Amino acid sequence: MASTLNKTLIAAAMTAASATALADDHTDRLYLGGSFSYNTIDSPFDGGDSIDATGIQGFGGYQLGQYSGGLSTKVELGFSQTDDFDNTNEDITGVWVAMVGEKELPEVDPNLSLIGRVGLDFGDDDGLLTGFGVGYDISDRLEVRGEFVNKDASNQYLASLLVHL
């Protein structure tokens, strides 16, 4: 577990350094986040049961644009790590990058938004990733998210907290 924590801290530091380098006069567009995840791998063996593991991730993001109708586009860079999956000594670690679209839903709640993502994972579960979820602005600087992300070999259910700089 200490190894996982060290990797996560290193990834968070790298993400923060990248965000700082991009900052210039656009700090209002930057955000940092962290997630807890529940990860599953569908197994074709053992009667089709899936195996699972918990995990964590750290990420940074930059808002590219804000458009009429409450739509915004963002780019995110992150690092994810799982614990060992059930009955295995295998975990999934990797760096990922994703384009994120977010649509505000003022007709439901002024703080609620719908999220969609597409990107690439570079690690143990490398390949295309896609996902969707919801976000909720707690304040001007804090946001919580609930998301489902499908990767090449695994699925993630994420609970995230974001801090807008």
| Domains of the chain with CATH codes | 2-164 (2.40.160.20)
Contact 96, 147 (CB under 8 A): no
CA dihedral 117, 122, 128, 130 (to 10 degrees): -20
Contact 20, 30 (CB under 8 A): no
pLDDT per residue, tens digit, the chain (165 aa), is 555 555 555 555 555 555 554 445 567 799 999 999 999 986 655 555 678 999 999 999 999 999 999 999 999 999 999 998 887 888 999 999 999 999 999 999 999 999 999 999 999 988 999 999 999 999 999 999 999 999 988 999 999 999 999
Residue 61: CB partners within 8 Å, gap ≥ 6?
30, 31, 32, 33, 74, 75, 76, 77, 100, 162
Amino acid 87: pLDDT: 78
